[in-house]
Amino acid sequence: MILKGRVWKFGDDISTDLIAPGRYFHLRSNLDEFVKHVLEDANPDFAGRVKPGDFVVGGKNFGLGSSREHAPLLIKMAGVSAVVAKSVARIFFRNAINIGLPVLICDTDPLPDGALLEADLANGQLQVLPKGRRIEFSPLPDVMLRILQDGGLVDHIKKNKGFGLADQGGDVR
């Protein structure tokens, strides 16, 4: 899986409340409206200017806070192809993979805001384009790649007729 898009750089400690502001939680049943406010407290221009394929790039502890399942979903609905961060909250990571949003862990300091980025999920490499710096990350396990390729965990289970992940030889940690 190769992804390409522009970098939207954010700092450390981007909480689920910054991603999915609580004051808009009345919009949980109207996600098309809610997504217009994704990350607006961290960058008011983000929701109106993000393009399909772009990357959200954070620092340490991305997605901390409550386990708002809407946080990664809104990022995905905004068209973001992946989240790249130095570290992420565990529940955010699992929620993101479950809805089909890749999360890549690596040093994000060399990734400039607005740069064109290419991510090779299978080989664990990011490259700033054209022919710029290459950054390695731990490749996602095969089972996670299959979940992402299928569009998320629900679609993965449907595609595999309800068979558990362990039945496919995957690591279910």
Structural domains in the chain (count): 2
Mean pLDDT of 7-29: 95
14 and 83 housed in the same domain: yes
Mean pLDDT estimate for the chain: 91
Shared domain for 133 and 147, answered yes or no, is no
Considering only residues 141 and 39, tell me which one the structure prediction assigns the higher pLDDT.
39
Pair (135, 151) in one structural domain: no
Q: Report the pLDDT value the prediction gives residue 73, as an integer from 0 to 100.
A: 96
pLDDT band at 67 (very low <50, low <70, confident <90, very high): confident
Domain range enclosing 47 = 2-140
- Summarize the confidence of residues 72-78 as an average pLDDT: 97
Is the same domain home to 120 and 161?
no
**Which phi-psi region, left, alpha or beta, contains residue 10 (left: φ > 0; alpha: ψ -120 to 50)?**
beta
Residue range 83-137, pLDDT digits in tens: 999 999 999 999 999 999 999 999 999 999 999 999 999 899 999 998 889 999 9
Beta strands in the chain (DSSP E): 2-9, 55-57, 82-85, 103-105, 116-120, 125-129, 134-136
66 and 146 part of one domain:
no
pLDDT greater at residue 173 or residue 77 = 77
